Amino acid sequence: MKVILKEELSGFGKAGQIIKVAPGYARNYLFPRDIAALATENNLRRLDHERRLIAQRQEKARREASSLADKLKDHSITLYRQVGDEQEERIFGSVTTRDIAEALRQNGFKISRRQIRFDENVRTLGTYECSIKLHSDVTVPLKVWVVKE
């Protein structure tokens, strides 16, 4: 039986793909959970239309992400933290993606903490680099300065 996937199904395919599955699997699992639709002529036409709409939305999102990336590429943020000892550069706590997202929000950028990738634990003063994934195709590096308060 041929079905059109409405969402990604691991091991089978991505949303919008036409796959062949056993009739019982489609009837008992895919259709009740609204994961797939029967590959009829009418559904195929609807799929073509939805693909065009999805492509337009993705292109618009990519353009907006590229525009934001141009604004962010020369930007850096400074975070002020308390230091334990004067000789040590170890800070109280650590710098997290939530701290970076809040600093960006204060500078007028609307970025979720989930979009920020920070590979290292920041527990000392210094300069660090993180990346911000604005779109699946658009990633921007951001310099983070951690200085003594």
Note if the pTM is more than 0.75: no
Hey, what domains does the chain have and what are their CATH numbers?
A: 2-67 (3.40.5.10), 69-148 (3.10.430.100)
Beta-bridge partner residues of 84: none
**DSSP per residue, 28-62:** IIITTTTSEEE--HHHHHHHHHHHHHHHHHHHHHH
**Tens digits of per-residue pLDDT, 35-87?**
899 999 999 888 888 888 878 888 998 999 999 999 998 899 999 998 877 66
Pairing of strands 90-95, 36-38: unpaired
Query: Which H or E run contains 76?
Result: strand 76-81
**Tens digits of per-residue pLDDT, 95-117?**
999 999 999 999 999 999 999 99
